[in-house]
């Protein structure tokens, strides 16, 4: 299985970002449960910490 890297871009206190994080966690867990040894990483980045993302 190929390596999977997901990047969530959002900001603290955003309820839609929280919903997206929960949904991604659910999907990642399903993949882990169904496939042998998946290599999945999830990175979170805030638009408040990165001017380029904010723009």
- At residue 36, the pLDDT reads 73
Q: What is the pLDDT along the chain (55 residues), one digit of tens a residue?
A: 568 899 999 999 999 999 999 999 999 999 888 887 778 999 999 999 999 988 8
- At residue 20, the pLDDT reads 96
* Residues 27-31: contacts with CB under 8 Å, at least 24 apart: 31/4
- At residue 1, the pLDDT reads 55
- At residue 2, the pLDDT reads 67
Q: What is the model's pTM?
A: 0.78
DSSP states of 13-49 as a string?
Answer: T-HHHHHHHHHHHHHHHHHHHHSSS--EEEEEEETTS
């Amino acid at each position: 299985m190929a390596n999977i890297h997901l990047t969530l871009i959002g900001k603290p206190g955003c309820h839609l970002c929280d919903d997206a994080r929960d949904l991604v966690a659910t999907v990642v867990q399903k993949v882990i449960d169904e496939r042998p040894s998946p290599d999945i990483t999830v990175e979170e980045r805030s638009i408040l910490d990165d001017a380029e993302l904010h723009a």
